[in-house]
Amino acid sequence: MKLKVLLLFPIFIFVLTGCQEIFSGGKGKIVYHNYFPSAYVAERNIEVWLPPKYDHGKEYDVIYIHDGQNVFNAETSYAGIAWEMDSTMNDLVRKGKIRPAIVVAIWNTPDRFREYMPFQPREPLLAIKQAMGIEEDLLSDEYLKFIVKELKPFIDKNYSTKKDPANTFIMGSSMGGLISLYAVMEYPEIFGGAGCISTHWPAVDGIFIEHLPGNLPNPDTHKMYFDHGTINLDSLYQPMQERVDMIVEAHGFFKDQNWMSLKFEGADHNEASWRDRLHEPLIFLLGKEQD
């Protein structure tokens, strides 16, 4: 087995000094928490988006999302294209398709692959590392501890949140899809759903798929969303996604109820494509039925 380490995007370091609040018209407010410290991983910037008419007397669902510099601001995003998640959230709330939520965008670092590659199945990964003479360890377990033990308590303390797993979600694209699924598997008592967009299953020859049987979260209490396109890197995903779908179904998940898997013809592996279909995972995870 060959170790395939693919850093899919260059890292953009864009620093804002201090804690700043930026209002974007009717799109809500973004609060920047820069150089957010951690005992587990490197410090990084955190962006917290609050919906319009945010009310401290009301509790909100929370979505944690990886590659945070790509989520709201085109100036910090890879290739200058952002997900424009604030616009999509506002549109869906206005149309009554989702309930309002707080979005916590977690910037990546130069350790992106090490933080996003799940450290399971552990023994095969350690064997590969030894065979390849690789000295650096994966950091995904530490990255999830950062989110669960440091970031989430900070968010819950400083913002008006619903703290239970039924209203706490995690989402990402590509390698961010892998770590999102890993998060809901490792911490099902924290996250009630994962949005896995263009999940990069081929990482390290698709070894993480071997860990899924018997380790997925309880389908009675959790949701999982998957999708992929058909262009460039996304064109590699369908066979592996179909294998994952079989595992998910065998675990007791029901298609289009607590599990969704979509294919988007002509969609590429980039922010523009993810922006254009972002409404799908948001509606699936934040549908109005829980209000």
pTM above 0.95, yes or no: no
DSSP 8-class letter at 190:
T
Overall residue count recorded for the chain in this entry = 291
Q: List, in order of start, the domains of the chain with CATH numbers.
A: 20-290 (3.40.50.1820)
Q: What residues contact residue 255 under an 8 Å CB cut-off, 6+ apart?
A: 249, 261
Strands 44-50 and 29-36: antiparallel
The CA-CA-CA angle for residues 66, 245, 210, to 5°, reads 75
Give the Cβ contact number of residue 57 at 10 Å.
5
pLDDT of residue 226: 98
H helix intervals, the chain:
85-94, 112-116, 122-132, 140-145, 152-158, 175-186, 238-250, 271-276, 279-286
pLDDT of residue 132: 84
Spell out the per-residue pLDDT of the chain, length 291, in tens.
Answer: 333 333 333 333 333 334 556 555 568 999 999 999 999 999 999 999 999 999 999 999 999 999 999 999 999 998 899 999 999 999 999 999 999 999 999 999 999 999 999 999 999 999 998 888 888 899 999 999 999 999 999 999 999 999 999 999 999 999 999 999 999 999 999 999 999 999 999 999 999 999 999 999 999 999 999 999 999 999 999 999 999 999 999 999 999 999 999 999 999 999 999 999 999 999 999 997 544
